[in-house]
């Protein structure tokens, strides 16, 4: 028992980095508790471990009294003075017990407490190690993948890459190496859980810091990030040195730097935008490659109205509105994109009158104006079939619009008379 216990303590302390004194103290307390539980009556037990030879000494303490009422907790003065001639009433005398009688209990308790203490200490060590590493990128090996996510071995511990934090369509395989961002450390009753992410904007920032020395040393600063993970991202950058091109530095020679990030993100398209304190100039850059004709800034409501050539609308908005949505996230402003034609139409009072009719949207009003139907009066004179054909609205809706236009005309003419 002694040699085995000493070997276990030494091994655990060395391999797991646990403090020997704490481990020994816990073992002593656990063995004492185990012995007390097995004893028929309460006992005052103390365990002493000798780290030199691994021996465990068990002492039972009893109080010296005139008359014994509990032999497990008390001893007579006569017995006490045989052990120590200087003993007096009220003294507490410790008697060494035979270890053989408790050897099996001690061994079992030692093993149990070592495992329990090991788990607790490892949990604390892992938490202490990783709590200050939130915000770092780590490398790991995929251990398994299930419905909750992927378990990533980081060496000291396993981390969880939840399904929600994985890139869309990312095919993770057991045994592959992967990089991810430490998003959170959760400490609970079980092992602390390191939560990873590959979709958060911070992961993109950290990847650029690794690839672009000028970002790492502070010459270039990433001002904002907007991501549709796995699809497209925008980052805005600025430099505190006039002779440093922040976009060129991020792109790298022949695109080597940005391509390294794109490859890590499984082909995610990355737009690098030049930051500007002027929101009008900033949005010009953010909506690239689309060209803007005019920007109207509403400072109070943080709204930007962007006027673009008619043939640039789809490019400015992007597939499913992605380009304008990401630009809005990048700036933190609401962005409303209009073509030059619509903007000009909105300046026309007759166009605005059309919009007052139920069911007439800006898209429908654009179609009507393009067909020469540029007033409520003209709509009132139309056939429902023709209006439905031009506007692409349903015939019942077209009839209702015509009736409303007629009513509007009558009201206007009556007011004029």
How far is Cα 126 from Cα 194, in angstroms, rounded to an integer? 9
Per mean pLDDT, which range of 187-191, 233-237, 267-271 is the poorest? Answer: 187-191
- 132-197 placed in CATH 3.40.50.300: no
Q: Is residue 23 predicted with pLDDT exceeding 80?
A: no
Mean pLDDT calculated for residue range 211-221: 95
Q: Write the CATH number of the domain with boundaries 348-416.
A: 1.10.150
pLDDT digits (tens, 9 = 90+) for 375-388: 888 999 999 999 99
CATH classification (class only), 2-130: alpha beta
Contact status, residue 110 vs residue 30, Cβ threshold 8 Å = yes
pTM of the entire predicted model: 0.71
Mean pLDDT calculated for residue range 262-275: 95
Q: How many residues does the chain have?
A: 417
Q: What is the largest CA-CA distance in the chain?
A: 131
Predicted confidence at residue 417, as pLDDT, reads 44
Structure tokens at 265: 């993100």
Domain ranges across the chain: 2-130, 132-197, 208-275, 348-416
Q: Is 215 exposed, middle or buried (0-12, 13-18, 19+ CB in 10 A)?
A: buried
Q: Is residue 111 predicted with pLDDT exceeding 80?
A: no
Out of 46-60, 111-125, 161-175, the most confident range is 161-175
Higher pLDDT, 41 or 245: 245
Tell the CATH topology of 208-275. GMP Synthetase; Chain A, domain 3 (3.30.300)
User: Rounded to the nearest 10 degrees, what angle do helices 384-391 and 362-370 cross at?
Assistant: 110
Q: Is residue 212 predicted with pLDDT exceeding 90?
A: yes
- 43's CB contacts (< 8 A; 6+ apart) are 35, 36, 60, 72, 73
Mean pLDDT calculated for residue range 251-263: 95
Looking at every residue in the chain, the average pLDDT score rounds to 87
User: Is 132-197 in the same CATH topology as 2-130?
Assistant: no
């Amino acid at each position: 028992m002694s040699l085995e216990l000493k070997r276990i303590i030494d091994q655990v302390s060395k391999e797991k980095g646990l403090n020997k004194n704490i481990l020994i103290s816990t073992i002593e307390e656990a063995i004492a508790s185990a012995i007390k539980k097995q004893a028929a009556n309460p006992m005052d037990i103390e365990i002493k471990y000798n780290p030199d030879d691994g021996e465990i000494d068990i002492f039972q303490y009893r109080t010296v009294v005139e008359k014994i009422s509990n032999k497990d907790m008390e001893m007579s003065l006569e017995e006490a003075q045989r052990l120590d001639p200087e003993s007096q009433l009220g003294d507490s005398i410790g008697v060494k017990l035979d270890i053989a009688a408790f050897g099996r209990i001690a061994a079992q308790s030692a093993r149990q407490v070592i495992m329990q203490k090991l788990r607790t200490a490892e949990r604390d060590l892992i938490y202490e190690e990783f709590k200050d590493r939130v915000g770092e990128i780590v490398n790991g090996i995929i251990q398994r993948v299930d419905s909750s996510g992927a378990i990533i071995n980081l060496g000291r511990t396993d981390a969880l890459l939840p399904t929600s934090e994985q890139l869309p369509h990312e095919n993770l395989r057991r045994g592959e190496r992967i990089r991810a961002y430490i998003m959170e450390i959760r400490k609970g009753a079980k092992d602390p859980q390191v939560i990873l992410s590959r979709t958060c904007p911070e992961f993109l920032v950290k990847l650029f810091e690794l690839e672009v020395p000028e970002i790492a040393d502070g010459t270039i600063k990433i001002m904002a990030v907007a991501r549709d993970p796995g699809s497209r991202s925008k980052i805005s950058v600025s430099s505190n040195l006039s002779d440093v091109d922040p976009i060129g530095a991020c792109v790298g020679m022949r695109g080597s730097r940005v391509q390294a990030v794109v490859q890590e993100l499984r082909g995610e398209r990355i737009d690098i935008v030049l930051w500007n304190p002027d929101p009008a100039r900033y949005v010009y850059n953010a909506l690239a490659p689309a060209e803007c004709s005019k920007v109207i800034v509403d400072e109070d409501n943080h709204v930007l109205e962007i006027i673009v050539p008619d043939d640039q609308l789809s490019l400015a908005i992007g597939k499913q509105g992605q380009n304008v949505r990401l630009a809005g996230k990048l700036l933190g402003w609401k962005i409303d994109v209009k073509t030059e034609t619509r903007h000009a139409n909105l300046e026309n009072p007759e166009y605005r009158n059309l919009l007052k009719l139920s069911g007439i949207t800006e898209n429908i009003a654009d179609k009507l104006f393009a067909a020469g139907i540029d007033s409520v009066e003209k709509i009132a004179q139309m056939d429902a079939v023709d209006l439905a054909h031009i506007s692409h609205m349903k015939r019942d809706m077209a009839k209702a619009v015509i009736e409303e236009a007629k009513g509007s005309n009558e009201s206007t003419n009556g007011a004029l008379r």
